[in-house]
């Protein structure tokens, strides 16, 4: 009797589950429609299960339809069916919610499309009216008259534009660099070039004027109308998605990026040519090329090799008969980009991309000396029709090492003098006084560019070293003092903390060299060495200056103050090679030094330098012969 009761209960549960399954199929039929439900069940292999009297087959068919998965085959146990039906109900509820949201969105889209359609019809009506009436209205004509009125207003020419070099002879102090640049551009086989040098020395003007000179040479490939396209690498912004690229060019799609209206209406993309194409047949000058995005540099290198720029767009259809011929040509063959690249930078060569350097010749522009600045100021004064005394020119040279800034300072002094005179002279030149220049300097809060000056004298414990920052050499004032050690044999050596670790190593090298060569044991003295101004020196080149200063402080022998020295001192007293020799020579010239001592290992490749005596030495004794001529006599007497 108990078993019969259980069978009856199970039969009742199966009937309830069958009715639930049937109800769910009925609900699905109301959602999809009876015919669509049958078609869907047939595609999913669930039609036979729907018609089966077996509850398990019905549940499998329900799962296939609800989850749209024809691979469901496993038969669930009776006890699992209620949970399965609950999951199916949740899935159906989610489907209904999603369908409701989609329907709401479709209704909104339909309304928006209707609104846009009505706006488009209104736009067409306005265009038809404009075609009948013409594009001009009273308001547009008024704006045109105002624009023409503004076009007629002009100010005087910029002083800096007037004073810009007009010929290669006007570029002062760069004869060697200009000749090198001329040989590389004015040739049947012109080369890409990178110009290195400090700012304001004429790199841009030299490139422009060399191109003009090359046009007049019979063997030059540049025609009379060869362009000089100038841009700045620091401002060349571009989009990695190639939406815009002013340097290489890009494609403006017909929807979002401003293709011409007649092309946009036909769904035709429009290639926009870049600066490399505009420079074809001429020179593309990129100032501050070291500031360019590295990826953009790599793309530029590809163009230098191919001499063409290719374009691509998913909107372009080569079979569309509405595509203009020039657009078709650009997409099929690309745009020409056959030019000579001239890049300028104030960075060191090591900071420039090796891939770019390998494709370019390199030309180095020198820093300007005070004599060069004086010459530039005098030439600019003549073009301004101004008269300026020599003392005022030297005053300008004391406050800047840039030709551009010197010319700007002259223009400021010219304005000061003109306001004092109240009017331009009817004949002759406007006089500019030293006081006018001082007033312009004070207004700009300028400081002297060279604070250390040579002098015809001798001092104990003081000498001049040389450093380099970028392309600018500078003189370092190094001083040393010595006192008998407080405790015999326990002397100390100190140097200012800002000098840098490599300079402190030079201090210990100096102690070893002095003891080995002259038997000077620094343990008997307390020695203090100072780099005046707290300069930090990242290199061993100040070793010779430090050694000489200590030698002078300990022996009491004075050193000449019109000589600058550079070089690393080894433990055995040898003077070893250093870098930046040319920059250091020019730094010494700016400080008015009569002589510079350089390691013998740096002699190769250094040509004669005007305005300063360059002496090469191999060891500490040879250096002392020039800086302290009486050292042998003094030490022998001691």
| Lowest pLDDT segment from 188-192, 322-326, 455-459 | 322-326
Q: Given this model, what pLDDT does residue 360 score?
A: 93
For residue 526, give the DSSP letter. E
33: alpha, beta or left, given left = phi > 0 and alpha = psi -120 to 50? left
pLDDT at 150 over 70: yes
Q: Given this model, what pLDDT does residue 229 score?
A: 93
Q: What percent of the chain has pLDDT over 70?
A: 90
User: Residue 18 catalytic?
Assistant: no
pLDDT at 636 over 80: no
Q: Given this model, what pLDDT does residue 596 score?
A: 92
Q: Given this model, what pLDDT does residue 369 score?
A: 79
- Alpha-carbon torsion angle 603, 612, 573, 629, nearest 10: 140
Classify the C-alpha dihedral 237-243-246-250 as positive or negative: positive
Choose the catalytic residue: 184, 462, 584, 589. Answer: 584
| The CATH fold of domain 161-364 | Rossmann fold (3.40.50)
Q: Given this model, what pLDDT does residue 228 score?
A: 94
Choose the catalytic residue: 405, 541, 552, 589. Answer: 541
- Could you write out the three-class secondary structure of 399-421? HCCCHHHHHHHHHHHHHHHHHHH
Please identify, in words, the CATH class of the domain defined by 458-637: alpha beta
Mean per-residue pLDDT, 472-482: 87
| Lowest pLDDT segment from 162-176, 378-392, 551-565 | 162-176
User: Residue 541 catalytic?
Assistant: yes
Q: What percent of the chain has pLDDT over 90?
A: 23
Q: Please report which confidence band the pLDDT of residue 56 belongs to, taking 50, 70 and 90 as the band edges.
A: confident
Classify the C-alpha dihedral 113-119-123-128 as positive or negative: positive
Q: What confidence tens digit (pLDDT) does each residue in 154-213 have?
A: 665 566 677 778 888 888 888 889 999 999 998 899 999 999 988 888 899 999 999 999
| Lowest pLDDT segment from 122-126, 143-147, 351-355, 542-546 | 122-126
Mean per-residue pLDDT, 219-240: 88
| Domains of the chain, residue spans | 2-98, 161-364, 370-443, 458-637
Cα 331 to Cα 314: distance, rounded to the nearest angstrom: 11
Q: Given this model, what pLDDT does residue 1 score?
A: 44
Mean pLDDT computed over every residue of the chain: 83
Radius of gyration of the chain (CA): 42
How does 231-266 read in b/e, with b if 16+ C-beta sit within 10 Å? bebeebebeeeeebbbbbbbbbbbeeeebeeebbee
Cα–Cα separations (whole angstroms), residue 210 to 161, 165, 170, 187, 220 = 18, 12, 12, 11, 11
* Strands of the sheet with 340-345, listed across from one edge: 228-232, 283-287, 340-345, 193-196, 361-364
Of the CA atoms within 13 Å of residue 530, those in its CB half-sphere come to: 11
Residue with tokens 């490139």: 207
Q: Which helix (H) or strand (E) holds 229?
A: strand 228-232
Q: What residues are paired with 473 via a beta bridge? A: 468
For residue 483, give the DSSP letter. E
Provide the token pair at 193: 């070039």
pLDDT at 12 over 70: no
Mean per-residue pLDDT, 529-549: 82
Q: Give the three-state DSSP class for 1.
A: coil
Q: Please report which confidence band the pLDDT of residue 313 belongs to, taking 50, 70 and 90 as the band edges.
A: confident
All residues at 6 or more sequence positions from 634 whose CB lies less than 8 Å from its CB, including other chains: 555, 557
Report the range out of 86-90, 406-410, 493-497 with the highest average pLDDT: 406-410
Q: Which CATH architecture has domain 370-443?
A: Orthogonal Bundle (1.10)
């Amino acid at each position: 009797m108990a078993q019969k009761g259980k069978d009856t209960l199970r039969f009742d549960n199966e009937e309830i589950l069958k009715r639930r399954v049937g109800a769910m199929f009925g609900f699905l039929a109301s959602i999809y429609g009876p015919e669509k439900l049958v078609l869907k069940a047939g595609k999913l292999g669930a039609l036979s299960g729907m018609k089966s009297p077996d509850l398990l087959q019905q549940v499998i068919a329900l799962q296939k339809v609800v989850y749209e998965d024809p691979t469901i085959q496993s038969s669930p146990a009776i006890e699992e069916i209620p949970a399965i039906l609950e999951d199916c109900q949740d899935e159906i509820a989610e489907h209904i919610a999603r369908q409701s949201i989609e329907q709401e969105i479709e209704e909104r889209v339909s309304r928006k499309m209707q609104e846009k359609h009505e706006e488009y019809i209104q736009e067409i009506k306005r265009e038809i009216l404009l075609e009948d009436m013409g594009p001009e209205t009273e308001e547009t004509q008024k704006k045109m008259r105002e624009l023409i009125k503004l076009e007629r207003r002009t100010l005087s020419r910029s002083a800096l534009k007037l004073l810009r070099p007009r010929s290669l002879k006007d570029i002062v102090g760069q004869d060697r660099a200009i000749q090198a640049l001329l040989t590389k551009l004015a040739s049947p086989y012109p080369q890409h070039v990178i110009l290195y040098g400090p700012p304001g020395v004429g790199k841009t003007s030299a490139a422009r004027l060399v191109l003009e000179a090359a046009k007049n040479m019979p063997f030059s490939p540049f025609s009379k109308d060869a362009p000089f396209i100038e841009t700045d690498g620091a401002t060349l912004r571009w989009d990695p998605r190639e939406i815009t690229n002013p340097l290489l060019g890009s494609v403006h799609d017909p929807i979002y990026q401003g293709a011409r209206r007649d092309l946009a209406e036909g769904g035709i993309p429009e290639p926009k040519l870049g600066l490399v194409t505009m420079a074809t047949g001429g020179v593309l000058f990129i100032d501050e090329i070291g500031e360019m995005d590295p990826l953009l540099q790599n793309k530029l290198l590809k163009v230098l090799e191919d001499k063409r720029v290719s374009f691509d767009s998913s909107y372009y259809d080569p079979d569309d008969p509405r595509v203009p011929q020039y657009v078709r040509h650009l997409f099929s063959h690309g745009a020409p980009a056959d030019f000579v690249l001239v890049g300028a930078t104030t960075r060191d060569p090591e900071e420039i991309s090796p891939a770019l350097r390998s494709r370019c010749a390199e030309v180095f522009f020198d820093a300007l000396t005070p004599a060069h600045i004086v010459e530039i100021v005098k030439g600019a004064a003549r073009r301004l029709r101004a008269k300026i005394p020599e003392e005022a020119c030297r005053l300008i040279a004391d406050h800047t090492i840039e030709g551009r800034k010197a010319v700007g300072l002259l223009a400021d002094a010219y304005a000061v003098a003109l306001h004092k005179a109240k009017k331009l002279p009817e004949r002759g030149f406007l006089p500019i006084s030293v006081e006018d220049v001082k007033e312009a300097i004070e207004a700009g809060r300028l400081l002297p560019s060279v604070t250390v000056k040579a002098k015809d004298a001798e001092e104990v414990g003081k000498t001049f070293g040389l450093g380099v920052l970028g392309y600018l050499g500078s003189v370092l004032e190094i001083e040393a003092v010595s006192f008998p050690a407080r405790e015999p044999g326990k002397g100390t050596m100190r140097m200012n903390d800002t000098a840098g670790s490599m300079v402190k190593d030079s201090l210990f090298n100096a102690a070893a060299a002095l003891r080995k060569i002259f038997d000077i044991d620094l343990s008997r003295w307390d020695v203090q060495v100072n780099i005046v101004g707290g300069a930090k020196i990242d290199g061993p080149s100040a070793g010779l200056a430090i050694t000489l200063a200590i030698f002078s402080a300990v022996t009491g022998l004075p050193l000449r103050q019109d000589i600058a020295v550079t070089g690393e001192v080894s433990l055995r007293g040898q003077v070893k090679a250093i870098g930046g020799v040319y920059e250091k020579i020019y730094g010494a010239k700016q400080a008015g030094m009569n002589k510079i001592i350089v390691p013998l290992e740096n002699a190769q490749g250094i040509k004669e330098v005007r305005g300063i005596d360059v002496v090469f030495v191999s060891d500490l004794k040879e250096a002392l012969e020039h800086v302290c001529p009486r050292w042998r006599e003094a030490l022998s007497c001691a």
